Each structure stands twice: as structure tokens, then as C-alpha cells.
Structure 1
Amino acid sequence: MRAEANHFGTTVTTAALPLLSAFTASELDGTTLAVIGGGSVAALAATISLTDPERRRRLQAEEVGGGDKEVVREYFNNSGFQRWRKIYGETDEVNRVQKDIRLGHSQTVENVLKMLKDEGSLEGVSVCDAGCGTGCLAIPLAKEGAVVYASDISAAMVAEAEKQAKEQLQAGSEKKVVMPKFEVNDLESLNGKYDTVVCLDVLIHYPQSKADGMIAHLASLSENRLLLSFAPKTFYYDLLKRVGELFPGPSKATRAYLHAEADVERALKKVGWKIRKRGLITTQFYFSRLVEAIPA
């Protein structure tokens, strides 16, 4: 086990876990990155080279009559909604992998809030939370006084986010809270202008060819800042993702895509933006690169 400091001044811990045989299939799916001992990488590489995860991805798309966007919408309105509502929530009805992913995602949210507040008070600042899920970021932003527009491709996720917001943002608090505006929308259909746009852990569902356009569109909505988190593409993480695809589990997951930081930076530069801050949030099963971009 080793500890390392990230760019946000916090310390995260990574560890090599036992072989995959230590985990049940229900603990792994295509979007779960399983960490394995370095000595096993070479042995697994040969096995993985014989698999065809792309075939499973094509079959998923055919079943819902579309491409990545349709697969994502279908998944997060059905089995994916039930799974991720538990992960993003506080219930104890999660396995150790899901609990670890919950920890990693919460660390990403905490780092985003810290990054935003480092620039000053969020009182009255307009923020677009693109891909809001169950409101893990939108609700804390509203508590800080931000004017939040939150959207998600999943109607089930949006309904849950609205429910959570009503429960947590009660009237009578010392700070005036503006209830977030929630809508069902995909990234490409978002419009308006905002001081800040945030998109967390969404790009993993789309290939780089689609992500480039999404990044450009999100940048066009922001006046000052764009924060993105994505699963980083390295040889090691790519191998781990492929291992996860060997164990799809009983529920169908979305297709998972890793993105090289250089590709994300290139997409930003193409539309006149540059990366100002970078960070890496890692737990045993969660890996996320977080970048803050501003107009160049």
C-alpha cells in the first residue's frame, strides 16, 4: 500500500488487491476498475487479448435500438438507477466495491467544492451541473448559495435528485438557498450561459470521438470555468477496465471508455480553453482525473 499527495493538497491511498478470484461477479461490472497485483498483469494480458468486449457493447446498443446515448439512458433509467442510487446514497446495502466507489466519488465532489470556493463565495454564482445524477454536487452547491441548473439524461436520476433536494434544502436555514432547477437533458442538448459548468464522471460512457464534441459544447456554455472529471487512460488502467469487462455481473452496465488527459487537453485547446488545475482522485476501485479549465 502506498500514499501519495494529489494536486489538491490532500492525500489519497492506493493499494494492490488480491487476484480477481477474491471477488464475486456481482461486485464487478464494465464500469468497475479492479485493482490487481502488478505481478498478475502479464498473465492477465494474454487472457484479455482473447476477449471481445466490443461485441458485448454492440449487442447492448442493438438491444435498445441506438448507440452510446441510448444505452446510457436505458441503463440509468432501470437497473443502473437502482445500483447507483445505492452507491451515491448512505444505505449500508452495498458491497465493498460499491462502498469504495462511493468514497471515491464523494472525494471528487469535495475537491470540486474546494476548487470552486477557492475563487471566493459561491453566493449567486450560476453553475450548470451537467450529468447531475442524484444531486450529490447540485445540493451542496445550492447550500453554498449557488444558483444551480442541474440536468441528467436519466429521468429516474432527476426525479431522485429533486426528491433529495427537497428533503435536504429545507426553508429556514441561515443562508438563503435557491432550489436547483432540475431537467432531463443530455449533454449535447444543454443551452444557456453559466459562470461555471461542471461535468463529473460522465465522459466514461462515451468514446473520445463523441467526448470531443461534448467538451466543446460544455465550454461554450461557460463564461469562466469548466470542471471535468474522467477515467484516465493509461496502459495499466486500460488493462484493469478490460479485466472488469470479463466479469459483467448479473446487471447490464454501460460501456466504459477511458480518456487520455492529452486528448481532453487537446479538445479544450481546440476551442480556446486551457487547463489551469489538475488532480487525481483514487481509491481501490475508483480512478478519476479532475481538471479545471478556463478561457485561454
Structure 2
Amino acid sequence: MSQTDYIRRTGEIEHYFDRTALDAWKRLTGDQPVGGIRATVRKGRDAMRRTLVDWLPEDLTGWRILDAGCGSGALSLELVERGADVLGIDLSAQMIAFARQRAMEQHAADRSRRGSVRFESGDMLDPRHGHFDAMIAMDVLIHYSPADATRVIEQMAARTSQRLAFTLAPGSRLLRTMLAAGRAFPRGNRSPAIYPVDTSALVGNLVAKPGMADWSIGRTERVSIGFYTSQAMEVTRA
């Protein structure tokens, strides 16, 4: 993945979430009633978020965690409740503004939160963010080709001391059928291109790389609800 290719792809994703479907994603990730396809996607994302959060210790006091592609900040705020110091990064400045508003409202309603959170718009791979105990990337790498996703994870691992948890689009016949069907819906209902992959092969090849010698494959779990299908993957550092 060249830097030019990475910048072009992140620009496409930013344009989608900041302009093409901002209102739709605010509704999807908020509390407003939704129907049809969005309802199943919301249920799936809620289940996936619970999976990724539950893979981490109940007490995250002292942990610094990167929530890459944090969107509305829902996952970040759950980590804060466990005591983590979280940096939520998203390409969409509009979604970051939404996340900050949600954080302020939650803090006003409950001032007992144990950790801290900061939301910023920008590149999840920017080295200026520093190092982390853990990084989570929920439904972010699904928008990158397998080779590009692998390189992104490698760069994340270089700044992570304990574990990475991320999701991939499993290369199943069902998901490919659903993606094909989704192209018939209006552009506002569709995300940027999703790349189904052989999840086991991708992670196996990843940890076999020389730069990942001290990493090993952890847990995996698939969430499939209606129009939402995603595979949670974990790699941990010895």
C-alpha cells in the first residue's frame, strides 16, 4: 500500500461519512428509531461493540486505548466507564463533533466515569498519537483491500504494547450476496466498498511476518444479524 493509495482511500471514506451519509449515520449510531436495513445494522453493530469491549479486562484503569474509526464514540465511552484513557480518532470531523456532544451529555448525566476520553479527527496511523496498550478498529479495515488492511494492522502493532482487536468482512457466500443486493439501494444507504476476505488466512499471514514475531492469534467471533455481518479478530503481544 503506497502512501498515495492510502491517502486516496481515506479521502473516499472521509467524503462518505462527512458528506454523503452523515445524517444517516448519526441516526444509525444514535438513539432515534430506525427501520428496515438500518435496524439490523444497528443491532449487529451493538452486538459487535459488546464483543470487542468484553474482550478487554473489566478494569482498564491505567490503560491507554486507541479507538480507531470511533464514529459516534459509543465504544470509546464504554471503555471510559471501565477506567481507560481513550483517544477516539475518526476521519470525519462531523462525526467527531457528534461524539464530543455525546460525551458531554453523558458526563453531565453521570459524573462518576472513571477514565477519560479525547476525540480528534484525523488519521488513525498518525505517529503523533503516540503509543497505546490496546487498539480497537471496529468496521474500519473492512473498507481496505486485504493487503492494505494487513499493512495497516502492522503499523498499528508497532505502537501497541498488549493487544489489537479489529473486524474484517468474512468472505462468505452470504455476505457477498448481501453486498450485491445492497448495491440496489440508494447511495445514501451504502457505505464505501467493502472487501470480503479469508479472515483466518489474513491474520495467520499477518502474525507470520517478521515484524510480528512477538504477536499471536487470539479470539475470533462472527456477528451476523440481518444485513450486518462482521468477524471480530484479536492478536495479542507476548
Alignment TM class, shorter chain as reference:
0.7 to 0.9
Partner of 1:185: 122
TM-superposed CA distance for 1:205, in Å, is 1.3
Tell me, what secondary structure is at the counterpart of 1:116?
Answer: coil
Tell me, what secondary structure is at the counterpart of 1:255?
Answer: coil
Q: Which of 254, 260, 263 is equivalent to 2:192?
A: 254
Please report the TM-score for the alignment, with normalisation by the length of structure 2: 0.88
Matching of residue 74 in structure 1 with residue 15 in structure 2: yes
* 2:80–2:113 contact (8 Å) kept in structure 1: no
Q: 1:175 to 1:235 in 2, by over 3 A?
A: closer
Could you tell me which amino acid in structure 2 is paired with residue 236 of structure 1?
L
TM-superposed CA distance for 1:174, in Å, is 3.6
TM-superposed CA distance for 1:212, in Å, is 1.4
Q: Deviations over 1:35-84 (max 9, x none)?
A: xxxxxxxxxxxxxxxxxxxxxxxxxxxxxxx7322110111111222111
* 2:165–2:234 contact (8 Å) kept in structure 1: yes
Could you tell me which amino acid in structure 1 is paired with residue 234 of structure 2?
E
Q: Distance in 1 between matches of 2:124 and 2:204?
A: 19
* 2:178–2:227 contact (8 Å) kept in structure 1: no
1:261-280 aligned at under 5 Å gives the runs 261=199, 262-270=201-209, 271-272=212-213, 273-280=215-222
- The CA RMSD over aligned residues, in Å, is 1.9
TM-superposed CA distance for 1:255, in Å, is 1.5
Could you tell me which amino acid in structure 2 is paired with residue 186 of structure 1?
D
Q: Distance in 2 between matches of 1:109 and 1:136?
A: 8
Shift >6 Å, 4+ stretches: none
TM-superposed CA distance for 1:234, in Å, is 2.3
1:27-42 aligned at under 5 Å gives the runs none
Partner of 2:43: 103
Partner of 1:288: 230
TM-superposed CA distance for 1:213, in Å, is 1.1
Partner of 1:89: 30
Q: Distance in 1 between matches of 2:141 and 2:114?
A: 33
Q: Which has the larger radius of gyration?
A: 1
* 1:127–1:148 contact (8 Å) kept in structure 2: yes
Tell me, what secondary structure is at the counterpart of 1:84?
Answer: helix
Q: Distance in 2 between matches of 1:121 and 1:196?
A: 14
TM-superposed CA distance for 1:171, in Å, is 7.7
Q: Distance in 2 between matches of 1:223 and 1:81?
A: 34
Structure 1: 5+ residue stretches without partners: 1-65
Q: 1:173 to 1:260 in 2, by over 3 A?
A: same
The number of residues matched between the two structures is 226
More strand by share: 2
Q: Which has the higher contact order (CA 8 A, sep 6+)?
A: 1
